[in-house]
Each structure stands twice: as structure tokens, then as C-alpha cells.
A and B are shown apart, each in its own frame.
Chain A
Amino acid sequence: MKPELFTKDTTAIVYGYHTNAIQRMLDFDYACGRKVPSVAAIVDPGREGVHKAFFGKGEILLPMYRTLARAAENHPKADVCVNFASFRSAFASSMEALEHKNIRTVAVIAEGIPERRARILAATAKKLDKMVIGPATVGGIKAGCFKIANTAGTYENIVESKLHRPGSVGFVSKSGGLSNECYNIIARNTDGLYEGIAIGGDAYPGSTLLEHILRYEAIPEVKLIVALGEIGGTEELRIVDALKSGAVKKPLVIWVTGTCSKMFPAGVQFGHAGAKAGSDLETAEAKNRALKAAGAIVPDSFDDYGVMIKKTYEKLVKKGAIKPAAEVAAPALPMDFAQAMKEGKIRKATTFINTISNEKKEELEYCNMPISKVLDSGMGLGGVIGLLWFKRDLPAYGRSFLETALMLVADHGPAVSGAHNAIVAARAGKDIISALASGLLTIGPRFGGAIDDAAQNFKRARDSGLTPAQFVRDMKEKGLNIPGIGHRVKSISNPDMRVTQLKAFCRKHFRKTELLDYALEVEKITSSKKGNLILNVDGCIGICFVDMLNSCGSFAKEEIDNIVAMGCLNALFVVGRSIGIFGHIFDQKRLKQPLYRTPYDEIAYMTDL
């Protein structure tokens, strides 16, 4: 395998829909001034299409495929697979990637791949002369060229650690988290990183510390090799052999972590799966000692790691082996909108205002009242309507009145236009929402509008100072029926019990019943003309509703005007009647009623007239 894994033109197929990692790869591309995005395509078994992402200041579309095979076929130049598959499926997908002729390097991010599977991956890569980075890794980065997944974290960190342009140091570690720390150390103590790889903390990484050290040995631009080993395993001892045999000639600064293990009881498993000494040979101290003896530059502790790197680097500069890489300014990355908002750097005008409820609080709130209190208070549906419609915690009689009104308007039999339409729609096999809507859509000036009309007309008349007699005369002159007056069968001598009860309730509980009193004066006049011109239930609801608002004392006159003008009473009718309409819909569905067709004898065909 050629020592260089990545160039400035390398592109990858990302397996797994990890949008943050993908964006970070593309942001790194921007920092490096890459012309071609480093992500060629995304594979996700659950979706296909395109993914929109930023590439510098603009946006690009990345194709998405359900299978790796399709992605690899369509993007033959992509020779890296960044595999985010879970520990359960990472083995199969990594093997598939390895065996695809186009893919040369597979980075396996998942932690927890069974060791036997990891060994098979490593052996297969070797057999096919390909590279596996990981499992259990964050990946790696070639400064100024290509970055795997989340390696090196944020854009700010990339620029601060000078990763957007190549330096002279080749780095390899087990730990992914520490690799980023080491890029920082390298940036502070040398002219920067050339390439860094985290092989992952498992017992059997797909590629080893030594394999990458040997690559760095073979890459002329790498002048100094820095590595970080770890307790457990004998991998570092193979580095010792390579140093002794002369296979590694470049200066190697290396530290093996885990020197504390001798202080610990036997059997402490460190954070990494491979970090456990199986024998004395595998302890950090033994390995550090052997490395030092073989000619590696080994600090006394991690505290001096940076110091040793600096010393070694400066020696190389002095010798002329390194000409320090020039500093290159990275372009400023436009800040993400969300980030800028979070940091308070920008503000944005909103499009909508909401003053009645809030689901973003610890608990859902209706008009600042937590839902638990809504339930505890026993305010009922009437109370909830008060909070959400009128933004008031209504007194008990107000809630009770609204609930009574809902009960009274809930249904008026199947023959009225709303119920009829809903029944016809239900029998046409439509869903319940469509059937309900077809019923509700008949509500208007001729059906169901009387409550609202009565409230509007009576209120206007009384507010404008008309006497009941003047009001009756006024309506007559305009040729209009008085809304809320009149019943088909009931009369002054045969009163509607619903109205009787409602009037009694309001009289008993409301502090004022001014509009009701006014309406009853009107009724006296109309009913004296004709016995059935009485205040009907719709009129009574509308008029008493206005009295209820007035009784509360917490509504200003303008507010009451507005509530009535907005059509709240129509809303009350719609909510109540929806209950009945649903009843008719369910009735039809329960009875499995067939499609309704209006019989011919209901229609007069007069086309030939």
C-alpha cells in the first residue's frame, strides 16, 4: 500500500447519516481551500435522495443512497469510507467497503465491535492491501487535505491547531480524544501536524501504531514522528524492534500512558478496551523503558511530552532538516445562524406572536397556568376555554355557563344541515375529519349563526340606547327578523324548558343580567304580537354570554366588544356541535351504512322547461 492515504482531492463515502460530522468535514475543506467537497455521498439504509449542507459560504447537495454498493458505483473516485454504523452492523458494512474495488481506506467509528470481528477486519485489510482505521476511533486528519468525521473538533480548534495547512509532524495514537489534545501540543511546539491518526482504543485495531509510523517514515514531508502508546498489548514492543532494525530512522517522540497501573489493584480496566496489562511486558513502564533503550525520545511523564517534542523539533530546524512551514491564514467560517443567536451576536425579528400557551416550559402551560394546576383546580372544560379563548381564569359560574352552552348546542338531530352533510360524507366512506369538516362547513348565516347574531344585535341595540320597542321597530323597518326570537312550536304559554333553566341559572349566579333583562322586554313586545315569538335557546345563550362577561368584572368594555365581534359565540357553537356531529358520524360507521344517494323523487327534474 502506498504510504499516503489522503490528498487534497480525496473524497469519501460517509456510511450513516451523521450530519454534524459531515458538516465538520466540509468546514475543514473550506479551511483548507479545497475545491471539491471531501464528502462524495452518504449511505443510509433508511433513506435516499439528497442532503443539503454548507460548503463554505454556499450550500451543496450531497447524494444519499441506501446501499454502499450504489454509492461506490456512482462515485468511483471516492476511495475512503467513513463508517458510522453501530457496533452491531459495523463489521458487515466495513467488510463490504473493504471488498469494494474502489475503496482503499475504511475508518470504523463504532465502539464495541467484537474482537474476533475486528481481527477479521484487520486481516482482510492486510490481505487486500488496504487500510482500516479503527474501530472505536474518531478517525484521523491530514492537515490541509482531508479530515475523517469529527476529528479535531470545531473549526476554531482546527485553525488554532494549524490543521488547515501541513506541517512536518506525523502523529499516531490509540486514543481519539487525546489525538486532538496532541494536535494542540504539536501546534504549540512545532510548525504543525502533517498527518494524525487515532487507531482506536480496542485490543485489535485494524491498523497499528507501527503501521502508521512506518508510513510516516516513508513520507518525505514528515520529518518528526510523534506517538502516544498505552498500557496493554505488545504493539509498542514491535516499534522497539523497528527502531532496533533501523526500519524507523526518523526521530520518534513517544510516551506510553498508564504508568499509574502499578499503583492500582490488579484488574482495573481503563477506559479503553485494550488498556489492561496482561503481563509485565505490557506495562507502560516496561514499554517506555524499552522504547527509550531502542533510541526513541521518551519523556519522564506526560507533563514533559510537549517539551520533548519542542526540543526535538528545534534540533531538526537547527540542523536544517526542517524548513518551518509558512503560516497560512485560514478563511473565517461564516457563523451558523443558531450559534450566532446562542452567543447573542445577532438578533432576529419573529414572524408570529403567541400569548395563550407555552409548551416550552418545564410543564405545558395554558395562559401561564401549569397543566397540573389546570387539572388539580377542577376548572373543567369551561375553565380551559376561559384560559385559552379569553385569557381569564373564569369564575365557577362562568365555566359552568360555558359548559352548559356546549351541552345545549351539542346536537339537534340528524336532519339539520350540519349533521346531514356529515352523515352523507361518512356514508361516502370518508374519514372522520373530512366528514366532520363537511358538516361544520354548513355553519354560517343560515345555520348555527343565530347565537352569534342574537348577541351582536341585542348588544348593539342596547349599547346604542335603543329602547326594546325602538329596537323591535328598527328591525321591522329594516325588514329583518330579530335573531334569537321565535320558535317553531314553543310559545309563551308552552315555554322551552332549556331556556327556562338557563335563565334561572343566570339570574341566580350572575351579578348582572342586563342584556337578558333587555331581551325579555323585547320578548314581551314580540310575543304579544305572536305567541311563538319568544326568546329561543340560541338567543338566550348569546345574550347570557354577554351578561356573563359583564358579570365577571375582569373584562373591559372594549374587550367584551371584541370577544363578541371576533365570533367567539360561533366558536362555542362549533365546538359544541362537533360533539354531536361526531356522534352522527360514528353512528353511521357503526351501522355500516352504505353510500347515500338522493332518491329521484326528492329532485324535481325541470331541465326541459
Chain B
Amino acid sequence: MADWFTLAAVFLLLSIAVALVRCWRGPGPVERIMAAQLAGTGVIGVAVVLGAARRDAAMLDAALIGTLLAAVAVTAFARSAARPGDRPDGSG
């Protein structure tokens, strides 16, 4: 069973890598931050899967903290995105 969890963790890691490629290429600030958020979601998934594989409930706490603080980062970005170019629809 733990092997399947590890396999899932590897798959999730690879999906994080793809999200990071999007984050690198951009092109705009919104794409970068959304890709970073997607990578963060992947990291939370890996933490949950690792916790299941090793039967360690404390790893779920790490996933919870990641979830809470990812919301803070994206809120801080949305606050600073008052310039027209940063809005997805460009309406500013």
C-alpha cells in the first residue's frame, strides 16, 4: 500500500514540476502567481500522501498550515495587482 502512496507522491511531484514551468514562462504576473499556487496545492497533496504512506498524522498539520498560508500569499498579491496589466481581463 505504501508503494502506491509513494508512486502517487512521485506523480504529484512531476505535476508540480509542470506547474513550475508555467510559473517560469509566465508571461504575466497573474500566470506566475496562479502557477505558484498550483505548485503549492501540489505540495500540500504530496504532504498528505506522505502522511498516509508513513501513517504520520502530523504531516497533515503541515498540509493544513500550507493551505492556510497559501491563501495569505495570493490575497497579498491580489491587493498589489491594482495596475491594469495585472488584472486577468485587463480592465484594471
Do chains A and B interact in one complex? no
